[in-house]
A and B are shown apart, each in its own frame.
Chain A
Amino acid sequence: MNIVVCVKYVPDATADRQFESDNTVDRVGVDGLLSELDEYAVEQALQLKEKAGDDTEVTALCIGPEKAVDAVRKALQMGVDKGVHVSDEAIAGSDYAATSLVLAKAIEKIGQPDVVMCGMASTDASGGVVPAMLAERLGLPQVTLAAVVETQGDQVRIKRDGDTATEVIGGQMPLVLSVTDQSGEARYPSFKGIMAAKKKPLETWSLSDIGVDAGQVGLDAAWTAVDDTTARPPRTAGEIVKDEDGSGATALVEFLASKKFI
């Protein structure tokens, strides 16, 4: 089996995330890492491999600036077999459409996948749309937002909390699969894994390597434009009271009544 797991390098959510003057996400000034939500995708990809046997190959694929190779390295340490990092100045500022194009072209070069595994959403853009766009571009079905993944041969079944019901969804490989943070804790890289990762193949491709024209990607080719980014004004300090012998409850009710919630 051939599994490609898409991993994104994102600014640390607990750091002070910012925008650049051109309204793109600051991916350099803030420490980055493999998106926590994509660790779950790596985990599920590895579990599929462990179930299917050793001739299965898992490739971690990341699009992003130079530093983004760290996300691929982490996936290699966790246990994927090889890594591909697509990096090209022209990609900077790409929107979902361009990102999904580059991912699709890179996947075609990696070779016909049985499963393209994604996280439920990136922790920066958090659109959760790249997996569906990728499926559209690759002409594949998509089975997304899985809390539980089960396979039997090329049959895939997932369980998920749908918008209005708990659902079991079935599909057949090849397909695009995305998993949530309910799918099971991601493993930590072991010391052995960290050492082994150093010897694993890691390729860096430019746009020309995958046959994408620089004019198709980047900020200027984007199908959407961000005109303004404004930091939300800090909330004005509220009133905080200490509860003493029931005074907290009374004050709380007074506040709610003053705001007409009661």
Chain B
Amino acid sequence: MSEVLVLIDHVDGAVRKPTYELLAIAKRLGEPSAVFIGGADKAAEVAEKVKAYGAEKVYVVDDAQIKGYLVAPKAEVLQQLAEKAQSSGGVAAILIPSSGEGKEIGARLSIKLESGLITDAVDVSAEGVVTQSVFAGNFTLTGKVTKGTPIITVKPNSAAPEEGAGAGTVEEFTATISDAAKKAQIVAAQPRQATGRPELTEAAIVVSGGRGTGGNFEPVEGLADALGAAVGASRAAVDSGWKPHTFQVGQTGKTVSPQLYVANGISGAIQHRAGMQTSKTIVAVNKDEEAPIFELVDFGVVGDLHTVLPAATEEINKRKG
């Protein structure tokens, strides 16, 4: 069976959940080969993790020479790996997390390999049919890569991780990185401060606040914590400086697709919908019954979030005992 290359999404060796989702999809298409580009000292630990979710092979590429350089070196690594694997058993597809960096790696790789790229997949079938959600979630597209090795970037929450060990054979790989690929560099980085809440794009429940909070996010955060949810925000709330941009849900923020999305004091502009419309269940609290967000909801409360949310939070906490 052909290999499916899966780029491991990690922070200093801590594997992120989308990696396991990609492995689950990879199993449908062929034999998952996880690709770890990172510190050699973390390789064994990472290999154990991805093995548990079905990786048959784990390519370890020590990043000592390329750490801190953006996108281009990783695209060269994947190109060389794909060419090597192509000459042994063939490559059925290359799966990359649909993050900002992931999409750009895919873009460069696509030109290098003269292979088609599909971004922001929400599903990939065993036949390689890719599903995307476009126009602010108003349309569902299905399509296929028709040239070369399919390169697909996949959104978080597009598949359930599947436990089940693969062979997990570790193979070290040394790539040759061009000087041209080392021309854009991270000069400084400040890791995101841990909020103690789930990651926005990975959370099963997201509770968001908009301009209607008036800058007081306490009711939103209270409900989020009672539900074990991540906190999100509209652009109006971000532009007002109430929450950092990393909280923003929408076209120019994060796309979320949780089991439950609760929009509070958010009108439901098309650009906001673009980031949340594919949520399974949508709930809104808004004091304006004409707010467009109510067109989307499974359940809505016309009321003031400053009274509805604290009361609901109290009731939930009481039920939880």
CB within 8 Å of B: which residues of A? 13-14, 17, 19, 23, 37, 95-97, 100, 120-121, 123-133, 135-137, 139-145, 147, 157, 161-172, 175, 180-182, 222-232, 235, 238-243, 246, 248-253, 255-257, 259, 261-262
Render B251-282 as a binary contact track against A, CB cut-off 8 A, 1 for contact. Answer: 11000000110000000001100100100011
Contact of A228 among B115, B142, B283 (CB under 8 A): B142
Known: A226-B143, A240-B289, A248-B311. 6 other contacts (CB 8 A): A96-B117, A126-B134, A136-B107, A169-B187, A232-B137, A235-B282
A255 to B312, CA, bound (A): 11
**Are A235 and B184 also in contact (CB < 8 A) when A129-B119, A164-B11, A226-B143 are?**
no
A257 touching B319 by the CB < 8 A rule?
Answer: yes
A145 to chain B, nearest CB (A): 6
**Are A262 and B227 also in contact (CB < 8 A) when A37-B252, A126-B134 are?**
yes
A248 touching B285 by the CB < 8 A rule?
Answer: yes
CB within 8 Å of A: which residues of B? 11, 70-72, 75, 99-101, 103-108, 110-112, 114-120, 129, 133-148, 180, 183-192, 205, 227, 244-246, 251-252, 259-260, 270-271, 274, 277, 281-283, 285, 289, 294-304, 307-309, 311-312, 315-316, 319-320
**Are A180 and B252 also in contact (CB < 8 A) when A142-B71, A248-B301 are?**
yes
A227 touching B129 by the CB < 8 A rule?
Answer: yes
A133 touching B251 by the CB < 8 A rule?
Answer: no
A129 touching B106 by the CB < 8 A rule?
Answer: yes
Residues of B near A253 (CB, < 8 A) are: 312, 315-316, 319
Contact of A238 among B148, B244, B271, B298 (CB under 8 A): B298
**Are A249 and B315 also in contact (CB < 8 A) when A142-B70, A142-B104, A166-B189 are?**
yes
A32 to chain B, nearest CB (A): 14
B274 to chain A, nearest CB (A): 8
B107 touching A129 by the CB < 8 A rule?
Answer: yes
A248 touching B303 by the CB < 8 A rule?
Answer: yes
Interface of A is mostly: mixed
Can you list 16 contacts pairing A with B, beta carbon distance less than 8 Å? Answer: A23-B141, A131-B104, A132-B108, A139-B180, A141-B180, A141-B183, A142-B104, A169-B184, A171-B184, A225-B144, A230-B139, A232-B277, A240-B301, A241-B301, A253-B316, A256-B227
A243 touching B301 by the CB < 8 A rule?
Answer: yes
A262 touching B316 by the CB < 8 A rule?
Answer: yes
A163 touching B100 by the CB < 8 A rule?
Answer: yes
Interface of B is mostly: mixed
B312 touching A252 by the CB < 8 A rule?
Answer: yes
A235 touching B187 by the CB < 8 A rule?
Answer: no
B252 touching A168 by the CB < 8 A rule?
Answer: no
Contact of B100 among A128, A137, A171, A262 (CB under 8 A): A128
B107 touching A14 by the CB < 8 A rule?
Answer: no
A8 to B311, CA, bound (A): 48
Give the tally of cross-chain contacts (CB within 8 A): 260
Residue in chain A with minimal CB distance to B135: A17
Residues of A near B289 (CB, < 8 A) are: 240, 242
Residues of A near B148 (CB, < 8 A) are: 223
**Are A261 and B205 also in contact (CB < 8 A) when A96-B107, A164-B11 are?**
yes
A13 touching B100 by the CB < 8 A rule?
Answer: no
Minimum-distance CB pairs A-B, first 10: A243-B303, A223-B116, A249-B311, A141-B183, A132-B107, A129-B107, A223-B147, A132-B104, A248-B301, A249-B312
Residues of B near A224 (CB, < 8 A) are: 116-118, 143-147
Contact of B117 among A129, A142, A242 (CB under 8 A): A129
Residue in chain A with minimal CB distance to B109: A136
Residues of A near B252 (CB, < 8 A) are: 37, 120-121, 180-182
A132 to B119, CA, bound (A): 13
Residues of B near A142 (CB, < 8 A) are: 70-72, 104, 184
Contact of B143 among A141, A225, A239, A249 (CB under 8 A): A225
B193 to chain A, nearest CB (A): 10
Residues of A near B135 (CB, < 8 A) are: 13, 17, 124
A226 to B299, CA, bound (A): 34
B187 touching A170 by the CB < 8 A rule?
Answer: yes
B184 touching A143 by the CB < 8 A rule?
Answer: yes
B302 touching A161 by the CB < 8 A rule?
Answer: no
Residue in chain A with minimal CB distance to B10: A164
Residue in chain B with minimal CB distance to A171: B184
A255 to B298, CA, bound (A): 9
A259 to B118, CA, bound (A): 34
A238 touching B300 by the CB < 8 A rule?
Answer: yes
Residues of A near B245 (CB, < 8 A) are: 147, 161, 182
Residues of B near A257 (CB, < 8 A) are: 319
B187 touching A168 by the CB < 8 A rule?
Answer: yes
